[in-house]
């Protein structure tokens, strides 16, 4: 579990409570609105960087209603979902048939060196920047040596705050690199999404990172 000063802890509790309440309230609308989103580019980016023969044990960090869990399972892997929103966790179990852990991102309890890959698609940006180093280290510890982490976040100017009932932090590439390298990861690649558009029309920054083997 990440630790914070007592005064900041009150704010963090509010961030988690209100953000999760937002997703619980709009869970069905979110499921319907995102079920056809094509993120195979992101799934492929993670899988091509995981060493060794498949199948892989993969943590879908912020799995939402379970769309991508189904894809990983269909490809023959062993995905486990994680989400802090109770309704999302329930939906994901029903939708995918996979194991899903209901955990607040700021109160993680993960096994050490358990996963070959972590898929954090549109999830880590909900972690306030003061807690991000701790969360990234926890994910690092949960990865096997040589394992890979994929993340995709809305890019920005390193600002953070509330938007539509959710808290978000919006980093540029250099700041994100700094967070990741400080947490012990090595960069493998990055790109912007959606593909094939001018940069100003690509709001998502995707990147893949490795936990060094030694």
For 89-133, how does the pLDDT look when each residue is reduced to its tens digit (9 = 90+)?
999 999 999 999 999 999 999 999 999 999 999 999 999 999 999
Helix spans in the chain (H):
6-25, 27-34, 40-47, 67-74, 86-96, 132-142, 173-182
Q: What is the arithmetic mean of pLDDT over 9-34?
A: 91
Across the strands, what pairs with 81?
60, 100
- Distance of alpha carbon 2 from alpha carbon 8, whole angstroms: 12
Q: Which residue has the higher pLDDT, 134 or 7?
A: 134
Look up residue 122 and give its DSSP letter: S
For 55-96, how does the pLDDT look when each residue is reduced to its tens digit (9 = 90+)?
999 999 999 999 999 999 999 999 999 999 999 999 999 999
Q: What is the arithmetic mean of pLDDT over 20-29?
A: 96
Domains of the chain: 6-210 (3.40.50.150)
């Amino acid at each position: 579990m990440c630790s914070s000063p007592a005064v900041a802890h009150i704010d963090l509790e509010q961030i988690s409570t209100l953000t999760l309440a937002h997703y619980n309230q709009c869970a069905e609308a979110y499921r319907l609105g995102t079920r056809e989103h094509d993120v195979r580019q992101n799934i492929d980016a993670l899988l091509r960087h995981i060493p060794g023969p498949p199948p892989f044990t993969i943590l879908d960090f912020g799995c939402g209603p379970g769309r991508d869990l189904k894809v990983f399972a269909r490809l023959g892997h062993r995905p486990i979902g994680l989400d802090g929103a109770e309704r999302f966790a329930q939906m994901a179990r029903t939708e995918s048939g996979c194991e899903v852990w209901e955990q607040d991102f700021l109160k993680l309890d993960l096994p050490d060196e358990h996963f070959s890959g972590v898929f954090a698609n549109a999830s880590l940006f909900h972690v306030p920047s003061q807690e991000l180093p701790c969360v990234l280290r926890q994910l690092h510890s949960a990865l096997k040596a040589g394992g890979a982490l994929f993340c995709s976040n809305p890019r920005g100017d390193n600002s953070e705050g509330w938007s539509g009932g959710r808290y978000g932090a919006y980093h540029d590439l250099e700041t994100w690199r700094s967070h990741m390298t400080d947490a012990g990861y090595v960069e493998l690649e990055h790109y912007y999404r959606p593909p094939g558009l001018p940069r100003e029309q690509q709001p998502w920054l995707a990147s893949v990172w490795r936990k060094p083997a030694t």
